[in-house]
Amino acid sequence: MPIQSIHEIPHISNMDRNYPIDIMGVLFNTEAHFDNPERPKMVFYIRDNIQIKCVATGHHDYAFREGFQNRGGRVEVIVVLKMWRVQSAFAGG
C-alpha cells in the first residue's frame, strides 16, 4: 500500500502530552516497507538513517524508534502520522 497523502499532525490530548513528538524532517527521504502483510506494521527509513517502527491503529500510525526505553509501561512515540487512501470512486472518474 503506497502512501497516498500525509495529513497534519492530529490534536494531542492531555494523555498524549507525555510523548515527546519530533516532526522535523519526517517527510524527507521517507520510504515504507511492510514487515508482515498479516499485521499493520511498517518500517520507515527516515532521514539520517534513523530506523523507526510504525504501528497502524485505525486512522493514525504511531512510529517508535528502535531500542527506545519504555516510559511508565509505554514506548516513546517520536512521530504521529495520519494516512489515508484515495477512494476508488475518485479513481473511477
Q: Which residues are CB-neighbours of 89 under 8 A, at least 6 positions away?
A: none
In which band, very low, low, confident or very high, does the pLDDT at 80 lie, cut at 50, 70 and 90?
very low
Is it the case that residue 75 has pLDDT exceeding 50? no
Q: What is the pTM of this model?
A: 0.20
pLDDT mean across residues, the chain = 44
- Specify the pLDDT at position 53: 52
Collapsing DSSP states into helix, strand and coil, what is residue 42? strand
Q: Which residues are CB-neighbours of 47 under 8 A, at least 6 positions away?
A: 25, 26, 28, 29, 30
Is it the case that residue 38 has pLDDT exceeding 50? yes
